[in-house]
Chains A and B, each alone.
Chain A
Amino acid sequence: MEGSKSSMRRELKFLFAIWKANLQSAMEYHIAFIAQILGMMLNNAFYFLFWVIFFERFKEIRGWGLNDMFLVFGVTATSFGVTAFLFGNAFSLSDVIAQGRLDYYLSMPRPVLLHAVSARSIPSGMGDIIYGITSYLLSGYFSWGGLGRFVVGVILASTAFAAFLIIAHSLTFWLGNAAALARLLMNAILTFALYPITLFNGPAKFLLFTIVPAALMGSVPASLVRELTWQNLGGLFLGAAVLLGLAIVVFRLGLRRYESGSAIQVEV
């Protein structure tokens, strides 16, 4: 295993080079870049107004108040933003697969999946990140230790989210272009992540920890920020690791079926 450490460093160096190129690309249109960031922050703020209005009237939902919503939005928006900004191509992987654009990544001496998902950055993700951090700071749960846990929580949650996107889009290998289905699944995980987890019970709650692991993107990292317990941290870490492993396996299996646009694809 002596080589694995240096190979990890090599991949990181490569990743930074790609991110730099992405940033340069975005800077080519700096006005649009800034507009996207500000627009996304405003967009999120408007969306959050719903909860402000809601809690104005109902005060508390099974132990959750407005400050909990601030916290959950903080964690989820930041995690979403990190994934969008650093691994933006994960959002359009279906098209990349269906249109045969994996060829390019396959002809390069780098890990295909890592290369493919990091090859595009979605500028508005930066808006989500800034919004999310602000939302956390306003939540009333701020502490320096909490900030550390926030960072750890966001890293794990964005990993889980990216892995979920990869799995959803990899269905394209078997079904033909599954962009619409993947979009539905992404909406599902986001929607569920942004609601108080206390609303759900029984099978619904089970669903949120398994098939649509929204809990890993919202409530679990949020409770990690509130309080460090082994259950929170271990659960989140395990969840993210399992999802990531699954994503890599699914993608690899799919790659054996990859047709590089040589066969005519039919949209599902």
Chain B
Amino acid sequence: MKKYWAIFKTQVVNSLAYPGEIIWRSMAILLFLWVFTFLWRVAFDTSAATTLSGLTLRDTLWYLMLAETIELSRPRFANTIAQSVKDGSIAYLLCKPYDFLLYQLSVNAGDTVFRLVLTFIFGGALIWGMVGAPPSPWGWPLTLIAFAAGWLINFCLTALIGLAAFVVEDVTPFTWIYQKLIFILGGMMIPLDFYPPWLQRISKALPFSYVMYGPARLFVSPDLERFTALLAGQLAWVAALGVLVSIAYRRGLRRLAINGG
């Protein structure tokens, strides 16, 4: 375990190699949230209501702020994995004394840290200025735990897309579609509470909402019961997807061994 911790720490420092890159990327949150404030102000205005489906304008914007933070700090490594599948370097990594998937996990976790902190600070400052103070701080640690569990679900799904390179030529289209599933069924652009009930049921049953909606909703209405239910669901998905990823990995390698790199 020690070596993965070391890989993680190295990557945290390494992610700062191009500070301009990381700052401009994090500033994108200002852009998206700024547009959201226009949209949802008008939406609440035209509805002439202070709460919609139990959320105030302030709740909605803090929800979207956390959802955007998750989206923008989410690692996108499907193409990296796909590349190492394509050029066969995934096979060389086999002789290194570490597990390929755990290595990817540590690297991407390291990459996430500063992006998460910076987007959270930028986004938080903007929304605080626009609609007032954030939700009660006692929910923050719970949110962080839920975030981490959601992060793992995203990791598994992204790894699956990357490993799809064993069977398809180009995985890029899958990464786009996955992103849009997170947008819509994960509740990034709109809280799932605003959906018609049938669509809410579908969305909440799928893993995407556990990455996005779950932690973001918990952030605005922290509550122990909600937290335990969420975490149970998340861990079930992590377990299921984790098994799926390692099966896909092993199968892919066998394919590689048969067909050559």
Q: Knowing A187-B28, A267-B18, say if A40 contacts B39 (CB, 8 Å).
A: no
Q: How far is the CB of B196 from chain A (nearest CB, A)?
A: 7
CB distance from A249 to the nearest CB of B (A): 25
B92 CB-CB contact with A under 8 Å: no
Contact yes or no, A39 B176, CB < 8 A = yes
Collect the chain B residues with CB atoms within 8 Å of residue A56's CB. 196
Q: Which of A29-37, A152-160, A234-242 contacts B (4 or more CB under 8 A)?
A: A29-37
Which one of B130-138, B144-152, B179-187, B232-240 is at the interface? B179-187
Measured CB to CB, the nearest residue on chain B to A175 is B20
A36, B173: Cβ atoms closer than 8 Å: yes
Chain B 117-150 interface 0/1 with A at a Cβ cutoff of 8 Å (1 = within): 0000000000000000000000000000000000
Shortest distance from the beta carbon of A142 to any chain B beta carbon, whole Å: 26
Closest residue on chain B to residue A179 by CB atoms: B21
Which B residues are in CB contact (< 8 Å) with A43? Answer: 173, 176-177, 179-180
Q: Is the CB of A35 within 8 A of B170?
A: yes
Q: Are B190 and A199 in contact (CB under 8 A)?
A: no
User: Which chain A residues border B190 with CB–CB below 8 Å?
Assistant: 50, 53-54
Q: Does B259 contact A (CB under 8 A)?
A: no
Q: Residues of A within 8 Å of B, CB-based: how many?
A: 38
Interfacial chain A residues near B189, Cβ < 8 Å: 50
Contact A199 B18 (CB under 8 A): no
Looking across the interface, which residue of chain A has its beta carbon closest to that of B195? A53
Task: Identify which of residues 3-37 in chain B touch chain A, using a CB-to-CB cut-off of 8 Å.
Answer: 18, 20-21, 24-25, 27-28, 31-32, 35
B172 to chain A, nearest CB (A): 7
Whether B229 is near chain A, meaning CB under 8 Å from some CB there, is: no
Chain B positions within 8 Å of A, measured between CB atoms, are 18, 20-21, 24-25, 27-28, 31-32, 35, 38-39, 42-43, 46-47, 168-170, 172-174, 176-177, 179-181, 183-184, 189-190, 194-196, 199
A61 contact set on B, CB distance < 8 A: 39, 42-43, 46
Give the complex CA separation of A149 and B32 in angstroms.
Answer: 31
Give the shortest distance, in Å, between A28 (CB) and chain B (any CB): 12
| Distance, CA A181 to CA B23, complexed state (A) | 9
> Hey, which chain A residues are within 8 Å of B181, CB to CB?
46
Which residues of A in the span 25-68 have a Cβ within 8 Å of any Cβ on B? 29, 31-32, 35-36, 38-40, 42-43, 46-47, 49-50, 53-54, 56-58, 60-62
Contact of A267 among B20, B25, B46 (CB under 8 A): B20
Residue among A38, A53, A181 making CB contact with B184, cutoff 8 Å: A53
Q: Contacts A180-B20, A200-B38 hold; do A50 and B172 have CB atoms under 8 A apart?
A: no
Instruction: Pick the contact of A39: B43, B173, B183, B184 (CB < 8 A).
Output: B173
> What are 8 of the A-B contact pairs (CB < 8 Å)?
A32-B169, A39-B176, A43-B177, A46-B181, A49-B184, A180-B25, A191-B32, A200-B38
Assess whether A204 is interfacial by the CB under 8 Å rule.
Answer: yes
Q: Which of A152-199 contact B (CB under 8 A)?
A: 179-181, 183-184, 187-188, 191-192, 195, 199
Partner of B35, one of A47, A181, A191, A267: A191
Q: Chain A nearest CB: distance from B252 CB in Å? A: 19
Interface status of A268 (Cβ within 8 A of chain B) = yes
Cα(A192)–Cα(B18), bound, Å: 27
Report the bound CA distance from A56 to B173 in whole Å.
28
Q: Residue of A at shortest CB range from B181?
A: A46
Q: B177 and A39: CB pair below 8 A?
A: yes
Q: Of the candidates B28, B35, B195, which one forms a contact with A192 in the assembled complex, judged by CB atoms under 8 Å apart? A: B35
- A39–B92 Cα gap in the complex (Å)? 31
Question: Min CB distance, A98 to chain B, in Å?
Answer: 12
Cβ-defined partner of A188 (8 Å) among B31, B46, B179: B31
